[in-house]
């Protein structure tokens, strides 16, 4: 058999079958786009990869004509592609966007599908500066996060229409003025109680805690804003105080953190129930817009009117249908009664004596009574014969 000329062909055929089984098209075949977008969803929906802080050195920074910045963030072992859109570039110190600068960036991990690469979308950037302060910040943040002080599940919702709003900030300066102006414009019927405190310096954290406790002891307070304007990391450092973080965590009233600018983050921002980018934004969050409320009420009024109109039209139609059914039933009943009356009339006509008289029959009466037998009349009796066209009177004669 081994010397048969068919053996090589059989061997080739066997290899073909094997290769075909090895390279058959799988049922779970993905396109490049499918796989890329799955990876994109996994990375971008991971909360641990969103709004993170990364420290590194800037390399190969390019600011595009559109105003967007593209650069690489690297350390001794790795590098990370970064993109920073124009509005964030305009809000940071341009001096930090240069090769070799050590920075701390804030951003979220995203995937750029066209290149199949992941990158960090940077929303904030500042020079690394005092590394010791940053390390203290990170250590305290990680400690409080492990203890659950930042858990979303324990954050309290803001009231929709707060009657009284408490504000912890400096009694002088632009912050309190901006908050009051915003509240007056959006929700003038709300009441504001200012609990003044220091917002910078070594004793500022204790001052903020004291001001917060004063508002907690005021029963009418429904929401609290802790606010301060922008500044350096050192200026805002009092809001990274552990005691303040625990006081806010245990506060029974919803707290809004409004410290610095949009790119500034403090421990207070993470422990508060809501973080606002600026003090003005905090006032907008806590106070409903009266114009929006009026527009919503007007819309609700229109919807109610339309609903009532539809209900009215529906009931009117039901009434019309019922009226038509009653009219038809009445008509049917009337027709039925007419038919019954006609039938009775026909029956009466059949039994009407005049019908028989018209056929040639007659009736004989004596003394107003109908004679049914000849024995009921005697000779000499006067009888009356009723015919169809008149009456005849006659006298009974004895029979011969």
Take residue 352 and report the two structure tokens written for it. Answer: 């009407």
Which of 217-221, 289-293, 387-391 is the least confident region? 289-293
Q: Is the pLDDT of residue 223 over 90?
A: yes
How many CA atoms, within 13 angstroms, populate the side-chain half-sphere of residue 63? 12
Q: Which of 241, 263, 288 is the last residue of a domain?
A: 288
Residue 18, H or E segment: helix 7-22
Q: Is residue 50 part of a domain?
A: yes
Same domain, 177 and 233: yes
List the beta bridge partners of residue 291. Answer: none
Same domain, 284 and 183: yes
pLDDT average, residue stretch 147-154: 94
Indicate the DSSP class of residue 49. G
Same domain, 373 and 313: no
pLDDT score recorded for residue 2: 46
Give the CATH number for residue 117.
Answer: 2.40.50.140
Q: Is the pLDDT of residue 16 over 70?
A: no
Q: Which of 288, 319, 336 is the last residue of a domain?
A: 288
What angle (nearest 5°) sits at the alpha carbon of residue 238, between those of residues 236 and 240? 90
Same domain, 112 and 201: no
In sequence order, the 6+-apart residues with CB closer than 8 A to the CB of 149 are 245, 246, 249, 270, 271
Dihedral sign from CA coordinates of 125, 126, 127, 131: negative
Q: Is residue 152 part of a domain?
A: no
Same domain, 171 and 263: yes
Report the number of secondary-structure helices (H) and strands (E) in the chain: 11, 14
Take residue 385 and report the two structure tokens written for it. Answer: 């014969």
| Residue 263 · residue 124 · CB < 8 Å | yes
Q: Is the pLDDT of residue 30 over 60?
A: yes
Q: Is the pLDDT of residue 290 over 80?
A: no
In sequence order, the 6+-apart residues with CB closer than 8 A to the CB of 105 are 53, 54, 55, 56, 73, 82, 120, 122, 124, 125
| Residue 226 · residue 169 · CB < 8 Å | yes
pLDDT score recorded for residue 1: 44
Range of the domain at 363: 354-395
pLDDT tens readout for residues 224-236: 999 998 887 778 8
Q: Is the pLDDT of residue 258 over 90?
A: yes
- Can you tell me which residue has the tokens 């609990």? 195
Same domain, 221 and 204: yes
Give the number of other CB atoms < 10 A from CB of residue 307.
Answer: 10
Q: Is residue 300 part of a domain?
A: yes
Same domain, 198 and 225: yes
Q: Which of 288, 318, 333 is the last residue of a domain?
A: 288
Take residue 24 and report the two structure tokens written for it. Answer: 């058959």
Take residue 254 and report the two structure tokens written for it. Answer: 């919803």
- pTM over 0.75? The answer is no
Which of 16-20, 335-339, 350-354 is the least confident region? 16-20
Cα-to-chain-centroid distance, residue 133: 43
- The count of domains in the chain is 4
Same domain, 80 and 177: no
Q: Is residue 134 part of a domain?
A: no
Same domain, 343 and 391: no
């Amino acid at each position: 058999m081994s010397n048969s000329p068919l053996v090589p062909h059989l061997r080739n055929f066997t290899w073909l079958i094997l290769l075909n089984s090895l390279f058959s098209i799988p049922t779970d075949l993905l396109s490049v786009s499918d796989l890329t977008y799955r990876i994109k969803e996994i990375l971008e929906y991971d909360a641990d990869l969103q709004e993170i802080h990364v420290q590194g050195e800037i390399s190969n920074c390019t600011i595009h004509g559109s105003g967007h910045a593209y650069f690489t963030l690297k350390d001794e072992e790795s590098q990370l592609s970064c993109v920073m859109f124009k509005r964030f570039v305009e809000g940071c110190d341009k001096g930090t966007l240069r090769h070799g600068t050590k920075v701390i960036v804030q951003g979220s991990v995203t995937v750029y599908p066209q290149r199949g690469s992941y990158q960090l979308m940077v929303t904030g950037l500042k020079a690394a500066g005092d590394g010791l302060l940053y390390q203290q910040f990170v250590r305290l943040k990680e400690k409080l996060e492990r203890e659950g002080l930042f858990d979303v599940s324990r954050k309290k919702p803001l009231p929709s229409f707060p009657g009284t709003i408490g504000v912890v900030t400096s009694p002088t300066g632009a912050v309190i003025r901006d908050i009051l102006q915003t509240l007056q414009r959006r929700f003038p019927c709300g009441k504001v109680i200012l609990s003044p405190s220091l917002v910078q310096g070594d004793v500022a954290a204790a001052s903020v805690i004291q001001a917060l406790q004063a508002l907690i002891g005021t029963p009418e307070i429904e929401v609290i804003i802790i606010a301060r304007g922008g500044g350096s990391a050192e200026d805002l450092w009092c809001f990274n105080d552990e005691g303040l973080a625990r006081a806010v965590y245990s506060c029974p009233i919803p707290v809004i953190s409004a410290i610095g600018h949009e790119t500034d983050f403090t421990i207070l921002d993470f422990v508060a129930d809501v973080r606002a980018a600026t003090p003005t934004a905090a006032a907008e969050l806590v106070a409903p817009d009266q114009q929006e409320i009026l527009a919503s009420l007007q819309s609700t009024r229109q919807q109610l009117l339309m609903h009532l109109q539809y209900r009215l039209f529906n009931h009117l139609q039901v009434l019309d249908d019922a009226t038509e059914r009653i009219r038809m039933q009445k008509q049917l009943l009337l027709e039925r009664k007419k038919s019954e009356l006609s039938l009775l009339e026909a029956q009466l006509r059949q039994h009407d004596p005049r019908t028989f008289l018209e056929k040639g029959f007659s009736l004989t009466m004596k003394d107003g009574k109908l004679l049914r037998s000849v024995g009921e009349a005697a000779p000499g009796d006067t009888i009356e014969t009723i015919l169809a066209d008149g009456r005849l009177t006659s006298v009974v004669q004895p029979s011969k």
